[in-house]
Amino acid sequence: MPSSPLLPTSLVGSYVQPDWLIDRGKLAGRFPPRVRATELWRIDPEYLAQAQDDATLLAIRAQVDAGLDIITDGEIRRESYSNHFATALEGVDVDNPGTALDRSGHPNPVPRIIGPIRRPRPVEVEDLRFLRAHTDRTIKMTVPGPFTMSQQAQNDYYPDAEAAAMAYAAAVNAEIRDLFAAGADIVQIDEPYMQARPDAARGYGLAALNAALDGVTGTTAVHICFGYAAIIHDRPEGYSFLPELAGCPVDQISIETAQSGLDLGVLSDLTDKTIILGVVDLSTPDVESPELVAERTRRAFDRIPPEQIAIATDCGMKYLPRSSAEGKMRAMADAARLLRAELSAA
């Protein structure tokens, strides 16, 4: 992994997909798809992969130009953070979907599990290689977590939800191993449903996450959030599932604090982890000043030393206007420079 500066900056995962690539009006007017949603793409299928490559290059360049230290592929090729991977697995019927409640309580079409869940081939390795070929900075890839995918499916095969989650964990584990073998510096597992369904997360979700990480030797992260700000508007005052991750073998934990004004006392339970600290509010297109982003970051210094903090967005930038996303990324990079200067002078 390339050497990392103090307080490295990064997106949580997604960047803004261009209007010429995807119908952003349709995207914003619905909940994130769990099955395929090919109707969202504006490009003829014959040219879609080429267009997605071009848009991914723009996303990489935007992050580099803004000064971010850790670069993602922006999840440009994905209709949602989870369906790109979940619909590539065997054992799920996406053409005859089932139904499951999303985290807001609304029914949503979801993959229907009809047989053993298997990963027939790597899903994101080529995306990772494309990213690696176009930047020499630290790179991160994101994969949906096994617990979250089990909550976003209708189980018509396994004896219970726990068994389904463990099957998803085996698929995620194989993917993570292949991503590190192909050159990933960090792999992040997205597990938002651990916050949304904490009782089930305690019952078997943590075991599934641990299974997904079994034998993995690269730097790993897990992202726990309150949902996309553009979709889920209300924020609780604290996490319902977070201290439980203290015993998890993951290296980094990504949390959001900007929109929620989270009480950072919870970080005292996670002092052996690097905290990917969400300090950029995605509920508004308004661009924060570097000073505000720096102040939100300083709040954590009495709980976690700066050496264990990365500066990030609350969640994915997928729903923001591009100009806002660019401005917010620059604010993160400028805040990091400001804080590094302060700390070096202290």
In this predicted structure, the answer to whether residue 311 has a pLDDT above a threshold of 60 is yes
pLDDT band at 229 (very low <50, low <70, confident <90, very high): very low
Q: What is the pLDDT of residue 113?
A: 98
Q: What is the pLDDT of residue 198?
A: 87
pLDDT band at 1 (very low <50, low <70, confident <90, very high): low
Q: What is the pLDDT of residue 237?
A: 60
Handedness of CA 169, 208, 10, 237 (dihedral sign): positive
| Mean pLDDT of the region 244-263 | 86
* 136-181: pLDDT as tens digits: 999 999 999 999 999 999 999 999 999 999 999 999 999 999 999 9
In this predicted structure, the answer to whether residue 346 has a pLDDT above a threshold of 90 is no
pLDDT band at 213 (very low <50, low <70, confident <90, very high): very high
In this predicted structure, the answer to whether residue 62 has a pLDDT above a threshold of 80 is yes
Q: Classify 10 as helix, strand or coil.
A: strand
Q: What is the pLDDT of residue 247?
A: 85
Judge residue 231's burial from the number of C-beta atoms within 10 Å of its C-beta, 0-12 exposed, 13-18 middle, 19 or more buried: middle
Taking the C-alpha atoms of residue 90 and residue 84, their distance in angstroms, rounded to an integer, is: 13
Q: What is the pLDDT of residue 196?
A: 84
More confident residue, 272 or 234: 272
Range scoring the smallest mean pLDDT among 131-135, 299-303, 335-339: 299-303
What is the percent of the chain with per-residue pLDDT over 90, rounded to a whole number? 80
- Residues 6 or more apart whose CB falls under 8 angstroms from that of 44 comprise none
Helix then strand then coil, in percent of the chain rounded to 5, is 40, 20, 40
The DSSP annotation for 54-97 comes to HHHHHHHHHHHHHT-SEE--TTTT-SSTTHHHHTTSEEEEEEEE
pLDDT band at 13 (very low <50, low <70, confident <90, very high): confident
Q: What is the pLDDT of residue 102?
A: 80
Closest CA to 244 of 307, 180, 197, 297: 197
In this predicted structure, the answer to whether residue 3 has a pLDDT above a threshold of 90 is no
The HSE-up count of residue 10 (CA atoms within 13 Å, CB side) is 31
Q: What is the DSSP letter of 22?
A: B
In this predicted structure, the answer to whether residue 226 has a pLDDT above a threshold of 90 is no
Average pLDDT, the chain: 93
Calculate the CA 304 to chain-centre distance: 22
Range scoring the smallest mean pLDDT among 30-34, 290-294, 299-303: 30-34
Q: What is the pLDDT of residue 231?
A: 46
Please report, for residues 84, 132, 173, 174, the alpha-carbon distance to residue 122 in angstroms, rounded to integers and kept in the order given. Answer: 12, 16, 11, 8
